[in-house]
């Protein structure tokens, strides 16, 4: 008599082909992957995000079957795709007469709770195992920051560098004598060196896209189903990592904050999707970057800046997320409530910087951190957009956006909606910063230097109005004292003029 099988669930962001689960083939183990509407519909997603995750899930299922593993795959065009994950799991337990169910720890709180509660109701044992991906455990950051009012990333990052012995000369001293080379990594890009060729593999998944549409799944953004460029398996992700280390990392540091209408990728790795669905392990990415420095292939400032994003920021925001869920998504320090302007969905605004950043996001499902923070997020905060709606938009539009990483970045870093737990100040600017870091202001309908008037750049009046109306809560912040010293030097007529300008623009955001 054959033993009763064990079912093992693989989520769409758990595509780690190197997980210990797969080291041995066991006829009594059945792997379950599901394309389900609960995951496509909880927020409006970019078309490429849905398509790439499903295509990558199918690729992993193919690999597992080739290795001899048993796989039960629920496709988007099956009736089961309309049921919740727990409903499908219970149906499969009955179908296979399973004796146990196992799953890897979800990275999103809603799924963690859903599966935990389903396990409590089940008639067979449920076991949650580690995803074997992150450097830190869920609540490790909370332990590091115990007793601290503010969770400074730099403090966490130094702890991680020391613990993991990354870019260290000895147990306590950083390579180069300093921890952070951020001040070296703020150069605008003027066309040289040239942007590396995009060598990512193109995939034709038109048939899968037709199935997704036929199933009634709603999305936005360009699907590019016949030339999908995102890595869909570990081999492709490793090739992308190789190309980044060889061609882009040497210049990444200099231009990591730069913005250009002529080159949307510049020297960014575009590895965040492969990392966040776990095709790549962060340790191997960090190791490759560190090796490039030691081999003299890339300068320390570039390597440190890249490693900080992974070993520091990525682990840090995950710790913030797990320490403050549930409820973090409802944070709204300033009480902002305006809906998103219509051009968030089509990029059709006369503000060239926002048109560029949003159109790129709609076309590529990707924008780098300065476009997300200092263009789109900057405007959202200055204009008083509802942070929960901003969060939903970011979560949907970016291919690498999963709630554990996107929510703290949006609510905490971008919108300051947590009141300063994560960020030391609101990250806002006038047009001057955007102009300094790129070419978006060239040819814009608006005048980057004007505060008032029909052609005045909206960022300018909104910037000063933001600080003026929030003086009671912000003027004692030492990191933004300069703004208030400048406000003190303005006469009443100047203040009244930019406040009126801001008020007028806020009544017609859709037409800006």
* pLDDT value of residue 481: 85
Domain boundaries, the chain: 6-129, 139-203+232-324, 342-511
Structure confidence at residue 2 (pLDDT): 77
Class of domain 6-129: alpha beta
- The pLDDT, as a whole number, for residue 12 is 98
What pLDDT score does 1 carry? Answer: 65
Encode pLDDT of 346-391 as tens digits.
999 999 999 999 999 999 999 999 999 999 999 999 999 999 999 9
- Dihedral (Cα; 379, 384, 386, 392), 10-degree rounding: 0
Q: What does each of the 512 residues of the chain score in pLDDT, given as a tens digit?
A: 678 999 999 999 999 999 999 999 999 999 999 999 999 999 999 999 999 999 999 999 999 999 999 999 999 999 999 999 999 999 999 999 999 999 999 999 999 999 999 999 999 999 999 999 999 999 999 998 988 878 889 999 999 999 999 999 988 899 999 999 988 778 999 999 999 999 999 999 999 999 999 999 999 999 999 999 999 999 999 999 999 999 999 999 999 999 999 999 999 999 999 999 999 999 999 999 999 999 999 999 999 999 999 999 999 999 999 999 999 999 999 999 999 999 999 999 999 999 999 999 999 999 999 999 999 999 999 999 999 999 999 999 999 999 999 999 999 999 999 999 999 999 999 999 999 999 999 999 999 999 999 999 999 999 999 999 999 999 999 899 889 999 999 999 999 999 999 999 999 999 99
CA–CA gap between residue 115 and residue 111 (Å, rounded): 6
Which one, of 246, 267, 285, 298, lies nearest residue 166 by Cα? 285
318 dihedral zone (left: phi>0; alpha: psi -120 to 50; beta): alpha
Question: The CATH number of 342-511 is which of 3.40.50.970, 2.170.190.11, 1.10.579.10, 1.10.3720.10?
Answer: 1.10.579.10
Whether 342-511 and 6-129 are alike in CATH topology: the answer is: no
Q: Which CATH number fits domain 139-203+232-324: 1.10.760.10, 1.25.40.80, 1.20.1250.20, 3.40.50.20?
A: 1.25.40.80
Helix %, strand %, coil % of the chain (to 5): 50, 5, 40
Residue 4 CB contacts under 8 Å (≥ 6 apart), including other chains: 28, 96, 97, 98, 99
* Contact yes or no for 384/282 (Cβ under 8 A): no
Say how many C-beta atoms besides its own lie within 10 A of residue 49's C-beta.
25
380 neighbors 334 (Cβ within 8 angstroms): no
| 481 Cβ contact list (under 8 Å, min separation 6) | 475
Other beta carbons less than 10 A from residue 264's beta carbon: 21
* CA–CA separation, 377 and 363 (whole Å): 18
Q: Which residues pair with 34 in a beta bridge?
A: 74
Give me the pLDDT at residue 171, please.
81
């Amino acid at each position: 008599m054959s033993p009763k099988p064990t079912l093992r669930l693989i989520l769409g962001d758990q595509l780690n082909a190197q997980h210990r689960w797969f080291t041995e083939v066991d006829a009594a183990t059945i792997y379950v992957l599901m394309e389900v509407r609960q995951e496509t519909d909880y927020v409006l997603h970019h078309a490429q995000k849905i398509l790439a995750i499903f295509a990558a899930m199918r690729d992993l299922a193919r690999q597992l079957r080739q290795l001899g593993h048993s796989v039960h795959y629920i496709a988007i065009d099956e009736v089961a795709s309309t049921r919740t994950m727990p409903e499908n799991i219970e149906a499969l337990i009955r179908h296979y007469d399973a004796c146990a169910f196992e799953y890897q720890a979800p990275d999103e709180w809603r799924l963690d709770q859903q599966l935990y509660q389903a396990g409590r109701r089940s008639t067979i044992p449920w076991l949650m195992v580690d995803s074997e991906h992150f450097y830190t455990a869920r609540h490790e950051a909370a332990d590091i920051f115990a007793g601290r009012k503010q969770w400074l990333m730099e403090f966490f990052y130094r702890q991680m560098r020391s613990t993991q012995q990354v870019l260290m000369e000895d147990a306590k001293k950083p390579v180069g004598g300093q921890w952070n080379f951020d001040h070296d990594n703020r150069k605008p890009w003027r066309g040289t060196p040239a942007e590396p060729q995009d060598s990512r593999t193109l995939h034709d998944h038109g048939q899968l896209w037709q199935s997704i549409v036929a199933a009634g799944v709603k999305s936005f953004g360009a699907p590019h189903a016949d030339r999908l460029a995102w890595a869909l398996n570990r081999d492709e992700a490793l090739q992308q990592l190789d190309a980044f280390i060889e061609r882009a990392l040497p210049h990444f540091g200099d231009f990591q904050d730069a913005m250009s209408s002529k080159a949307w990728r510049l020297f960014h790795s575009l590895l965040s999707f492969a990392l966040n669905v776990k095709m790549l392990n962060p340790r191997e990415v960090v190791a490759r970057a560190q090796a490039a420095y030691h081999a003299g292939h890339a300068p320390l400032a570039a390597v440190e800046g890249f490693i900080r994003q992974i070993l520091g920021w990525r682990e840090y925001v995950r710790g913030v997320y797990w320490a403050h869920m549930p409820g973090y998504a409802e944070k709204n320090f300033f009480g902002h409530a305006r809906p998103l302007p219509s051009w968030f969905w089509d990029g059709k605004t006369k503000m060239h910087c926002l048109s560029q950043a949003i159109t790129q996001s709609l076309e590529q499902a990707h924008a780098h951190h300065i476009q997300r923070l200092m263009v789109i997020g900057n405007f959202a905060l200055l204009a008083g957009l509802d942070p929960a709606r901003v969060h939903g938009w970011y979560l949907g539009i970016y291919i690498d956006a999963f709630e554990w990483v996107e929510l703290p970045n949006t609510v905490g870093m971008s919108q300051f909606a947590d009141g300063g737990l994560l960020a030391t100040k609101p990250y806002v600017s006038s047009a001057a910063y955007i102009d300094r870091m790129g070419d978006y202001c060239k040819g814009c309908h608006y005048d980057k230097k004007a505060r008032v008037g029909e052609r005045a750049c909206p960022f300018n009046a909104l910037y000063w109005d933001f600080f003026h109306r929030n003086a009671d809560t912000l003027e004692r912040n030492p990191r933004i004292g300069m703004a208030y010293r400048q406000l003190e030097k303005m006469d009443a007529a100047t203040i009244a003029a930019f406040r009126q300008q801001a008020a007028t623009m806020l009544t017609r955001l859709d037409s800006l």
